[in-house]
Amino acid sequence: MKKTAFLGLGVMGAPMAGHLASNGFAVTVYNRTREKADAWAKRHGGAAAQDPADAVKDADLVFLCLGDDPDVTSVIENAAGGFSQGAIIVDHTTASPALARRLHDDLAELGVGFVDAPVSGGQAGAENGALSIMCGGDGAHVEVARPAMESYGARIVHIGPAGAGQLCKAVNQLCIAGIVQGLSEGVHFAVKAGLDIDKVLEAISGGAAQSWQMDNRAKTMAQDEFEFGFAVDWMRKDLRIALDEARANGARLPIAALVDQFYADLQAMGGGRWDTSSLIRRLTDID
Catalytic residue of the set 36, 57, 169, 199: 169
Rounded (5°) CA angle 19-22-24: 115
Question: Within 13 Å and on the Cβ side, how many CA atoms surround 123?
Answer: 9
Burial annotation 23-41 (CB, 10 A radius, 16+ → b, else e): eebbbbbbbbeeebbeebb
Cβ proximity of 226 and 246 under 8 Å: no
What backbone phi and psi angles, to 5 degrees, belong to 225?
A: -115, 125
Start-end of H helices in the chain: 13-22, 34-44, 52-56, 69-79, 97-108, 122-128, 139-149, 164-192, 197-204, 212-222, 232-249, 254-268, 279-284
**42 given a catalytic annotation:** no
CA distance 121 to 113: 25
Write the CB contacts of 266 (distance below 8 Å, at least 6 apart in sequence): 232, 272, 274, 278, 279, 281, 282
Tell which phi-psi region holds residue 252, choosing left (phi > 0), alpha (psi between -120 and 50) or beta: beta
> So which residues are the catalytic ones?
169
